[in-house]
Amino acid sequence: MKKLLAIVALAIPMMAAPIVTYSTTGTFTPGGTDVLTIGGGTLTYVGSAGSVDAGSPGSNTALGSITTAGSPGNLAGSTFTLTIMQTAPVADTGSLTGTLSGTINADSSSAFLKFANPTLTLAPGINYTIFQTPFGIALVPPSAGGTTTIQGHVEASAVPEPGTVGLIGLGLAAVGMLGRRRRV
């Protein structure tokens, strides 16, 4: 039994959360592009790409940014779709793609982008969650610099590597053989 515990103790550090590699794109409606022009102003989305250690507690990352220029008119009813393409880890398809949709709400002094469901699961155990207040993400007006970064968190469950599974299996077989040999 002590040997079995020693084998399991050796295998646990080999179970690591993956490094997740992704890129993002975004589109506004109406229009269906990464630029929304309303009245005398525009909203422009700039995607991002990166890699993050999804097992790290601080695996927060930028999922793109929206720049506000000029004086956009009535934004009410406009929507934004964030598309996340994960290129690692993936299955045989080469990449995994999913979308998060949000609505832009505005009044005379502020505008917010609110995602209806701020969490996206692209692969079993890998989640992307967008940080937003109950009102959504405040879009920074041009007078204050105009750029809003969409921040998120990537989280993954630890998945045992194939070598870890093999080592545990070998250890269990050895313990079983020792137990059988003692009974004979």
**pLDDT tens for residues 5-51?**
455 455 455 556 688 899 999 999 988 999 998 878 899 999 999 99
What residue spans of 28-71 are helical by DSSP H?
none
Contact 139, 43 (CB under 8 A): yes
Please tell me the predicted confidence (pLDDT) of residue 94: 73
Q: Is the pLDDT of residue 130 over 90?
A: yes
| Helix H or strand E encompassing 62 | strand 60-72
Q: What is the pTM of this model?
A: 0.77
What mean pLDDT is predicted for residues 82-89? 92
Whole-number percent of the chain with pLDDT over 90: 44
- Measured distance CA(57)–CA(43) in Å, rounded: 32
Give me 98's structure tokens: 């999913």
Contact 67, 146 (CB under 8 A): yes
Give me 146's structure tokens: 């105009």
Whole-number percent of the chain with pLDDT over 70: 80
What mean pLDDT is predicted for residues 86-113? 85
Q: Is the pLDDT of residue 64 over 90?
A: yes
- Measured distance CA(26)–CA(82) in Å, rounded: 5
Q: What's CA 102's distance to the chain center, in Å?
A: 16
Q: Is the pLDDT of residue 177 over 70?
A: yes
Q: What angle do the packed helices 2-11 and 162-183 form, to 10 degrees?
A: 180
Strands (E), 47-140: 49-53, 60-72, 79-88, 96-106, 111-115, 119-123, 126-130, 137-138
Q: Is the pLDDT of residue 128 over 70?
A: yes
Confidence band for 165, pLDDT divided at 50, 70 and 90: low
Q: What's CA 124's distance to the chain center, in Å?
A: 12
